Structure 1
Amino acid sequence: MYVLWALLPDECIRRLGIVWYPNREWAVLLPAYSVIIVLLTYFTYFSLALANTPAFSDPMAFIDAKAHIPALDGPDPYRRSNDPNVVPESYDIPIGIVNRVLYGPRKHRE
């Protein structure tokens, strides 16, 4: 019906028995508005995702509230797991240790 209303001349539509219909400019405006609404929806969700993403320097970029970090008091939990008779506890490894293992010790610039 939409395509017939958009393409047929007024005389053909009246012969079909339809005496009232919206202005023809809506045949162009409805699809145009629909495309704009879809694009604005994508832009809005993309903007919200960018706004809620923490900065790279923020620790929340790689640690969340569910992280299981070992307590600092007592012996080092990472060294305790070297004993072959011990089943180590499950911990999230801090990013500093990961970087030292992957990239070596930090080199100071002179």
Structure 2
Amino acid sequence: MEDLHSVSSPRRILSLSKKRRTLISLDRDDKAPGFGLSGEHGPKPSEVYGFVGSITTVVATGVYLIWAYVPDSWLHSVGIFYYPSRYWALAVPAYVMVSIALAWLFYIGLNFMSTPPPTSFNIMFDEFSKEPSISTFSEEEDRPIEPISDIGINRINDLMFNNKK
């Protein structure tokens, strides 16, 4: 039989109360929330991908700035003789920005084309429209909360444009 007073690790505390025996661990490698560890030991894959992505972005930005702004004589003195033309240092970002702007305008135009005209009944009613239920409760009874439904256009017009105060 195992000795109750011995503990396998100096970082673990064993409660010796008579009613219960609990083991409290102070090790960080247990599955405790807040330590940033996954179910297994080590970092989460999303943390690794984020770290590698941020380092790659910094390195790529540095290489781009060196390629775009450092004179040819300095690059040749370091031993770099083959690199793309400086024209592409301006052309590629310009092409990317124009492509993003055109995609944005295309998206807006597609939304305008798919929107029904203002005179269409499809603006007010569609397959998901719910008519309000008619409840028959007297004023003295406790009325339950009515189920979710659409407000009819006649009720909206009455609330907005009827000048009864």
CA distance in 2, matches of 1:9, 1:101: 71
Equivalent residue number for residue 138 of structure 2: 83
Question: Per-residue CA shift, 1:14-49, capped at 9, x if unaligned?
Answer: 122212111111111011111101211211221122
Larger-Rg structure: 2
- The alignment's TM-score, normalised by the length of structure 1, stands at 0.69
Q: 1 or 2 for the larger relative contact order (CA 8 Å, sep ≥6)?
A: 1
Relative to structure 1, the CA distance from residue 83 to residue 33 in structure 2 (aligned partners, 3 Å threshold; closer, same or farther) is same
Q: Which of these residues, 95, 100, 103, is aligned with residue 153 of structure 2?
A: 95
Q: State the 1:98 CA deviation.
A: 2.4
2:79 aligned partner: 17
Number of residue equivalences:
98
**TM-score where L is the length of structure 2:** 0.49
Question: Can you list the C-alpha shifts for 1:60-99, whole angstroms capped at 9, x where unaligned?
Answer: 223332111269xxxxx3xx54633465853423212321
Whether contact under 8 Å (1:69, 1:92) holds in the other structure is yes
Residue of structure 2 in register with 1:4 after alignment: 66
**Contact 1:67–1:92, Cα closer than 8 Å, also in 2:** yes
The alignment-based identity, stated in percent, is 28
CA RMSD of aligned residues (A): 2.6
The 2-side partners of 1:99 and 1:82 are apart by 26
- In structure 1, the gaps of 5 or more residues are 72-76, 105-110
Larger mean Cα displacement after TM superposition, 20-29 or 39-48:
39-48
Distance (Å, rounded) in 1 between the aligned partners of 2:144 and 2:151: 16
